[in-house]
Amino acid sequence: MAEVKVNAASGSINAQGLIAHQVEWFVSDFGQVLTVGDETVLGGIPEKTRQWNLLHHENFGWSVTIKYEGIEADGDEDDDEFTWEFTPAIAEQPIETHPLIEKLKERFGGTVGDDGRVTFPALLPETAESSGLTDNGEAGTKNPMAGWTSYMQTGGVFTRSYVRLRVPRGLAKKANTVVANLPGDFKDLTPKGRNWMVLMPKISKRGRGRNAAVQISERWMLSPLGGWPPPEVLIDP
């Protein structure tokens, strides 16, 4: 007579509400490795994967490990099952792309060469005396912009992750739009003079079947100083 029994079981739920459950079965008949166990557990959490291994001991048979993954029900915009992450970035940019380059040229005597590059003289010009940006208020002193050909631009991507039974309607339509602030409790994190571009969301299906959960990561990219140009300028049609 074929023998079937549960050897072990364990589970967890993460901050986004994603439930993971694992059951290890023992079966004596190889024909049972694909049929043993339940299709769903905990009220509808579907099977994600199963793995079996041959056992060589006095209870000759098969160990079958079934993993389930999913969520109980869809959340909403007001729930607390979001996880947030800001990934900072910094990049070196040519000084010519600085949003205040015209003011820098005027105050520090920058000139444009035949190659289009901006250079600054070793000493401050006469016009810098009234700008308030010199060390001692006198022209002819060392120019703090001399030798600078680039600047460091800070930025980053803000990510909101969550799980749902279905992809929210209209989610992809938000991509390539520009917004002034982040959603939720993060509206005050936008630096002055910047805004955010909505990127395409990252989506992955967790588990199998109609009740499998969908993991979604919405993303916003911080603009350079001055804000993003209109989306139609940045994005190919």
Residue 30 included in any domain? yes
Both 49 and 13 in a single domain? yes
Residue 186 included in any domain? yes
Domain holding 40, by residue range, is: 4-70
Residue 198 included in any domain? yes
H/E element holding 231? Answer: helix 231-234
Amino acid at 180: A
Both 88 and 196 in a single domain? yes
Confidence at residue 225, expressed as pLDDT on a 0 to 100 scale: 85
118-132: pLDDT as tens digits: 999 999 987 655 455
User: How many distinct structural domains can be found in the chain?
Assistant: 3
Both 128 and 88 in a single domain? no
The span from the CA of 237 to the CA of 234, in Å, is 9
Residue 209 included in any domain? yes
Both 63 and 106 in a single domain? no
Residue 169 included in any domain? yes
Give the residue from 45, 80, 82, 219 showing the smallest Cα distance to 162.
Answer: 82
73-110: pLDDT as tens digits: 766 555 567 889 999 999 999 999 998 999 999 999 99
The span from the CA of 88 to the CA of 156, in Å, is 4
- State both tokens at 118: 């901006």
Residue 40 included in any domain? yes
Residue 77 included in any domain? no
The span from the CA of 118 to the CA of 149, in Å, is 7
Both 87 and 200 in a single domain? yes
Residue 178 included in any domain? yes
Q: Are 167 and 214 in contact (CB under 8 A)?
A: yes
Which residues, given as ranges, of the chain have pLDDT below 50?
130, 133-134, 137, 237
Both 143 and 158 in a single domain? no
Both 164 and 218 in a single domain? yes
Give the residue from 68, 66, 78, 74 showing the smallest Cα distance to 17.
Answer: 74
Confidence at residue 137, expressed as pLDDT on a 0 to 100 scale: 46
Both 195 and 162 in a single domain? yes
H/E element holding 119? Answer: strand 118-119
With H, G, I as helix, E, B as strand and everything else as coil, classify residue 124.
Answer: coil
H/E element holding 22? Answer: strand 19-27
- Can you say whether the dihedral through the CA atoms of 94, 100, 101, 104 is positive or negative? negative
